[in-house]
A = this chain, B = another copy of it.
Amino acid sequence: MITSSEPLARLYSVIPAGGIGSRLWPLSRADAPKFLHDLTGSGQTLLRDTWDRLVPLSGEQRIMVVTGRAHRAAVEQQLPELADPNVVLESEPRDSTAAIGLAAAILQLREPGVIIGSFPADQVIKGDGLFRSAVTEAVAAADAGYIVTIGIQPTEPAIGFGYIKSAAALAIDGAPTALAVDSFVEKPSPEVAEQYVAEGNYLWNAGIFIARADRLLAEIEAAEPELHAGLMKLAEAWDTPARGAVVDQVWPRLKKIAIDYSVAEPAAAAGKLVVIPGQFEWDDVGDFASIAKLHSGGRKSNLAILGDGARVLADSSSGIVVSHTGRMIALIGVEDIVVIDTPDALLVTTSANAQKVKAVVDALKLSGSSDVL
C-alpha cells in the first residue's frame, strides 16, 4: 500500500497509441493497428486492457490518449469514457518523443507539477496488483525528481526486447525497490541475452516512463531544443482556437526520435534515471511467436487458436493460427507454424521467423501492394 497518496493523486496517465505493429501483419494494418486487437483472448482490445489497468491508478478523468487522426473513431469506440480534452490527435506519426512530449507539455500548462506516466497501448500485463505497486513506487521516485522507468524481471533470455542495466539501490522515499540505471542496451544476441540473465542486474525495457512533466520537458529541451520549442508552441496553442493552424505548421516539422534516445539514455548517463523492477508478468506481444507462447502456457508443443468462429482441424501441429475468415483451416504435420488468415491476406511462417514479418510489410510497400497494408 502507498504511504502517501499525494504524488499518485498528481499522476496523469498517457497512452501513446501509435505503432501499427508491422510484425503482426496481416493482423495489424494501418487501419487496424496492434492496439485495436484482442491478442490475449481477454475479449477486449489491448488498448482497452491498458485503459482498465490505469483507471485504478489515475482515474478515468486523468488518462490521455495520443493517437493518429485515422484512429480517433476506433479509440473513442473502445474508450467511451475518454474525455474530449484527453484526446490528442497526431496528423502524422512523429515518433515517441513528440507524442509523449506534447502530452507532457499540454498537461504541464494545464496543471503545473503534474506527474505523467506513459504506458504503451499494446502490451500485455498480468498481475495488476504488482503493476500498481510498481507504478506507485515509480510515481514517488518521479516526485523526487527522477525520470523513472519500470523494468521487467526477465523470465528467460529473450532476444526480442531491449534491456536496462541496473546499478546500485537508491534511497528514495516511497520507492524502496528503486535502482539506479547504468545504461539502456539494445536487443541482444542469444549469447548476450543468456549472459544478461545470468548476471541478474538486467531488466527488460518495457517502454514505460514516469516523470514530472516539467522534468521530462527539461530533458527533451537539453537533448533536442528545437523539438522542445515546437512542442511548447503546440502546447500553448492547444487549448485555444489557434490549435489547428499551429498543428498544421509545427507538427509535420518535428524531429522524429524515440524517447529512449532523446530522454532515457542521456538521463541514464547523467544519473537522473531510476528503474523500478516490476514483478508482474509482461509481454509486448511484438510478434506471433510471442502471441503463440502467451496462449500455450509456455509449452511449445501446443497450438494456439485465436479468432472469432475459428474452424481449425489440426493433428500434432504446433504454433499459432489466427483466423478472421471463418474458413476451415486444416494443418497437418507442421511444427511451430504461424498461420494468419484474414479476408485479403494470408501469412504462413514459423515462430523462428516471426521477427521477419516486418520485412514482408516493407516488401509489400515497395511492390505497391498497399491495399493489404
Contacts and interface: CB of A to CB of B under 8 A. Distances in A.
A343 to B, nearest CB: 8
Nearest to A342: B327
A363 B332 contact: no
Interface of A: 25-26, 311, 313, 315, 327-334, 337, 339, 341, 343-350, 352-353, 356-357, 359-360, 363-364, 367, 369, 372
Nearest to A331: B348
B344 A327 contact: yes
Nearest to A312: B346
Contacts of A369: 311, 313, 328
A364 B193 CA distance: 45
Contacts of A349: 330-334
Contacts of A328: 26, 344-346, 364, 369, 372
B363 A313 contact: yes
29 contacts: A26-B328, A26-B330, A313-B360, A313-B363, A313-B367, A315-B359, A327-B343, A327-B344, A327-B345, A327-B346, A328-B345, A328-B372, A329-B347, A330-B346, A332-B347, A332-B348, A332-B349, A332-B353, A332-B356, A332-B360, A333-B352, A334-B337, A334-B349, A334-B350, A334-B353, A339-B346, A339-B348, A341-B346, A348-B348
Nearest to A25: B330
Contacts of A315: 356, 359
Given A311-B369, A313-B367, A347 B330 contact: yes
B330 A345 contact: yes
A349 to B, nearest CB: 4
A355 to B, nearest CB: 10
Nearest to A333: B353
Interface of A is mostly: mixed
Contacts of A353: 332-334
Copies of this chain in the oligomer: 2
B329 A348 contact: yes
Given A313-B367, A367-B313, A369-B311, A329 B357 contact: no
A292 to B, nearest CB: 15
A341 B344 CA distance: 12
A311 B360 CA distance: 13
Given A311-B369, A367-B313, A372-B328, A348 B360 contact: no
Contacts of A367: 313
B332 A357 contact: yes
A313 B350 CA distance: 15
Contacts of A372: 328
B329 A345 contact: yes
Nearest to A329: B346
A349 B334 CA distance: 6
B360 A334 contact: no
A344 B315 CA distance: 20
A330 to B, nearest CB: 5
Contacts of A334: 337, 348-350, 353
Contacts of A327: 343-346
A334 B353 CA distance: 9
Contacts of A343: 327
Contacts of A311: 369
Nearest to A369: B328
A361 to B, nearest CB: 9
Contact of A337 (B348, B352, B359): B348
